[in-house]
Structure 1
């Protein structure tokens, strides 16, 4: 099924219109089928304020798309017998239980499956027990989480976790593999095997001149203020280890990661992740549960509320008509990950299509859902 070149040009024109309208500043995009790139485009600005143009090798702070890399480490641990979905957090991180009996309630029930499916019952906060100036030291984050309550029964609801779940997942995989630093684990087990030479947890000094600064365009009074996100320009440092939000990457490297997933975990003839694990990771795990965060986002705009549509860490395509990142025309079984108001990749396994979109300029999340629904639909419509 090749792409319609007129439809791909229409996609490029729409992206340029969005940038001209000030919806976001710039973007790097890749659209491919069967691993063959049909469109690799660079548009607009890496930093509009200084008129710095986007470049294909721009390094983005990819925000919560980071979680996809942390998930991949968990998939390896599952396939290699290091962890099980039923492994409780306290089985690996005993100090998570804390020392105050009034904060221990339900903490002994939270397991890896709960964390991956955003059903842990932990607070939906971007601050994992301490402020952003302390995010970069994973050991400090884990220590702080010992005093954070589980506020809902684990498994009882889907409430997207911006930070806590993946801080815990990152620490769990670090400990079971015996690494001193989480960033080294990710580099050796995911990034190097995939040839993701411009990807890291943290921002290496040699890539700082290519880094796209985070600039946030959201209204005051929302879920997050601009400074809540823009502060990551300062705190995603060379040594920072934030398994939930702290990775830096390029569109080309994210494409390599997505392609590994499209090939069911295979890279260069080697099986990096077991197909059986990916089969479950890309299957619906949250049933008819609603997605609390995006129910709020959609309700604010008068839209139908979405179901959770979460696998083991992946966002999945929705069979319904509620607005969502993939649009209503990706095939059943499509999956991917995204970052707040700015980044997305998805794989459509039926049409064999991969879509990567890394943008400068963080949008309001409702507008971001509308943007990605529109562009994802245009990509799907370009397949003939």
Structure 2
């Protein structure tokens, strides 16, 4: 923890409860380790590596440990789509078939870019029944998506698509590029390099291997995913693997750079990747009071209430109300960010000028992980006294 914490309005003693809580949970074997980062107004006040990168090998966590992203990668894919809207190549109201003609069949004819971003396209939650090689092939997953009958009329319900929807969004980005670059290269050129996110990549980049945290499911209770599914994603990742919904590698510092750029209206270090206008729009609730079907299982399993989706066009939002939320109960309603299955979380509270990143080793069942994120987020918020 830095001396800046007090000068930036934190009660330093109270903020120290955050790493203490993480250490307690690691000691209780709820998960294996984590890197956590808290910043205010662009100044980092806490950045710690805690526990194990690999408990079985007694390998300690490092500040530059490289994590499997899981679904916080969706926000990077969404940012590339938002860039194309910023440039006037497409609009939120553009129908998918205008870019991918073969998508417009079987009741999907009027699905829009916004429907995909908001998980309102009626696409399935489950990992598609494809081989590992096909799962990491954007065109193969898009072909599968084109064959589907939507599970709900597009635009009418929020039904979280864990994999399929973001492969379609990535294929839109790739086709708008004219097929000149791979999707991975587009992300590097248009987002990662401008933001100096040097430790982030789709696929298992060879130079990141020595710092890579293995994907291990510590909490094997059945929830949204089978434990073997999540562990399998880490196992099948190759250098050319492209899973835009969640198959990336990154560090806490790199995700801080992305989140901080979003907090600053799309710019960091003189590099602008998004306009302030599109970020304002993308971090406004666009799903109203619609519930998120992602948590239907937790209503029966955990006794949770119906939870509003609170989705913007690219980010999860805190919104208002008392219900389980990874961004905490105490966050400002406009807090936005992303969540990775059983593992990672980042958020920005623009009202309080806070940026937070938490990447973890040793996956938890999703609903328990969600509650863990909530507890940690509230520790950050309650430590802020000025």
TM over 0.5: yes
In the alignment, what sits opposite 2:78?
Answer: 71
Paired residue secondary structure (2:125): coil
In the alignment, what sits opposite 1:101?
Answer: none
Equivalent residues in 2 for 1:179-258 (5 A)? 179-219=180-220, 221-258=222-259
Give the Cα–Cα distance (whole angstroms) in 2 for the partners of residues 89 and 235 of structure 1.
29
In the alignment, what sits opposite 1:367?
Answer: 368
In the alignment, what sits opposite 1:160?
Answer: 160
In the alignment, what sits opposite 2:342?
Answer: 341
- Number of residue-to-residue matches in the alignment: 377
Paired residue secondary structure (1:362): coil
Q: Could you tell me whether the CA contact under 8 Å between 2:339 and 2:346 is conserved in 1?
A: yes
Give the Cα–Cα distance (whole angstroms) in 1 for the partners of residues 301 and 321 of structure 2.
19
Q: Could you tell me whether the CA contact under 8 Å between 1:318 and 1:324 is conserved in 2?
A: no
1:380 aligns with 2:381: yes
* Pairwise CA distance, 1:95: 2.3
In the alignment, what sits opposite 1:297?
Answer: 298
Equivalent residues in 2 for 1:72-221 (5 A)? 72-97=79-104, 104-127=105-128, 130-178=130-178, 179-219=180-220, 221=222
Give the Cα–Cα distance (whole angstroms) in 2 for the partners of residues 151 and 5 of structure 1.
49
Q: Could you tell me whether the CA contact under 8 Å between 2:205 and 2:239 is conserved in 1?
A: yes
- Pick from 26, 31, 55 the counterpart of residue 48 of structure 1: 55
1:61 aligns with 2:62: no
Q: Could you tell me whether the CA contact under 8 Å between 2:257 and 2:268 is conserved in 1?
A: no
CA deviations over 1:140-178 (Å, ceiling 9, x no partner): 222222222212101111111101111111110111122
Paired residue secondary structure (1:193): coil
* Pairwise CA distance, 1:242: 1.0
In the alignment, what sits opposite 2:317?
Answer: 316
Q: Could you tell me whether the CA contact under 8 Å between 2:38 and 2:44 is conserved in 1?
A: yes
In the alignment, what sits opposite 2:4?
Answer: none
- Pick from 31, 35, 41 the counterpart of residue 28 of structure 1: 35
State the superposition RMSD in angstroms. Answer: 1.3
* Pairwise CA distance, 1:347: 0.2
In the alignment, what sits opposite 1:100?
Answer: none
Q: Could you tell me whether the CA contact under 8 Å between 2:223 and 2:297 is conserved in 1?
A: no
In the alignment, what sits opposite 1:6?
Answer: 13
In the alignment, what sits opposite 1:331?
Answer: 332
* Pairwise CA distance, 1:89: 1.4
Q: 1:336 to 1:42 in 2, by over 3 A?
A: same
Q: Could you tell me whether the CA contact under 8 Å between 1:299 and 1:305 is conserved in 2?
A: no
Give the Cα–Cα distance (whole angstroms) in 1 for the partners of residues 299 and 384 of structure 2.
28
| Structure 1 gap segments, 5+ residues each | 98-103
Give the Cα–Cα distance (whole angstroms) in 2 for the partners of residues 164 and 109 of structure 1.
17
Give the Cα–Cα distance (whole angstroms) in 2 for the partners of residues 310 and 146 of structure 1.
24
| Structure 2 gap segments, 5+ residues each | 1-7
Give the Cα–Cα distance (whole angstroms) in 1 for the partners of residues 237 and 116 of structure 2.
23
CA deviations over 1:225-276 (Å, ceiling 9, x no partner): 1110111122221111111111110000000000000001012234320111
Give the Cα–Cα distance (whole angstroms) in 1 for the partners of residues 136 and 15 of structure 2.
40
* Pairwise CA distance, 1:299: 4.0
State the TM-score, normalized to the length of structure 2: 0.95
Paired residue secondary structure (2:378): helix
